[in-house]
Structure 1
Amino acid sequence: MTGKTIAEMKLGDKASTQKTISETDVYLFAGITGDFNPVHINQVEAEKTMFKGRIVHGILCTGLLSAVMAMSLPGPGTIYLGQELKFVAPVRIGDTIKAEVEVVELLPEKNIAKLKTTCFNQDGKAVITGMATVMPKKQ
């Protein structure tokens, strides 16, 4: 598996991956990060929030975007430089999230690519939107 160089990328190129988020994923993520916010791990407390139940850590879902960039587009050798995010809808345990990246700008002189980043739920609704800045592998 090899990553694409900036010269091999084209505007509009897309790649994606998807995963069904399990309760185990949420607990493992909480343990790794130390983020034990009750909205993620305590159903009784989460029911008192505007979400009326537990939601998945948004950053757990954005990790899927990182996986797409690292493994598919641009792929292995990519350096992740920055990310802007908007969390636009909650993700629930059991949701299947599709993380998609699309090339929207190429700056060959700087070896920089701008990627539109979106996570969709199983209903096709965007749950996370944003823009990533990456440095693809060199020749």
Structure 2
Amino acid sequence: MSDLHGYYIEDIEVGMKASYAKTVTETDVVLFAGISGDNNPVHVNQEFAEQTPFKSRIAHGMLSVGFISMVLGTKLPGPGAIYISQNVKFKAPVHIGDTVHAEVTVKEVIKEKKRVILETVCRVKDTVVIDGEAMVMVASKATTN
């Protein structure tokens, strides 16, 4: 793996893992709301959020999914990997100030199709907040020489 190219399909094995951790800040939530246009008051209005089951503002679920994207695009498989699909189940809220740990684990390598299937999970401490699976396309050494 290099700065400009991640793992090639020939180098990826079942069980490989990579992770990233980020503490979600007020700035993250406000910027994500602005970029995405998702101004749901549960994310941006404390008085509204206090009336919800969460009792305070929560981060956008897709913000945490973005941390999974970070791992896939920069660590495993890394630069050059192309997202094909992602399914997610949102299991628990992420609050401002929570540290989200995103981890991906290789479940399957389909060398002939240059595809990798990865388990994707985000945790806050011991609580799973997102569970899912991604498929990415990865280059082959045979086609880059």
Q: Which residue of 2 aligns with 1:16?
A: 19
Aligned residues: 138
Q: Which residue of 1 aligns with 2:134?
A: 132
TM (norm. structure 2) is 0.93
Q: Which amino acid in the other structure matches residue 46 of structure 2?
A: Q
Alignment of 1:34-49 (within 5 A): 34-49=37-52
Q: Which residue of 2 aligns with 1:61?
A: 64
Instruction: Decide whether the 8 Å contact of 2:10 with 2:140 is kept in 1.
Output: no
- 1:61 and 1:137 map into 2 onto residues whose CA distance is 26
Instruction: Decide whether the 8 Å contact of 1:79 with 1:137 is kept in 2.
Output: no
Percent of pairs identical after alignment?
51
Unaligned runs of 5+ in 2: none
Q: Which amino acid in the other structure matches residue 75 of structure 2?
A: S
Q: Which residue of 2 aligns with 1:107?
A: 110
2:100 counterpart (97, 102, 106): 97
Unaligned runs of 5+ in 1: none
- 1:104 and 1:35 map into 2 onto residues whose CA distance is 32
TM (norm. structure 1) is 0.97
Q: Which amino acid in the other structure matches residue 52 of structure 2?
A: T
Instruction: Decide whether the 8 Å contact of 1:120 with 1:126 is kept in 2.
Output: yes
Cα RMSD (Å): 0.7
Q: Which residue of 1 aligns with 2:54?
A: 51
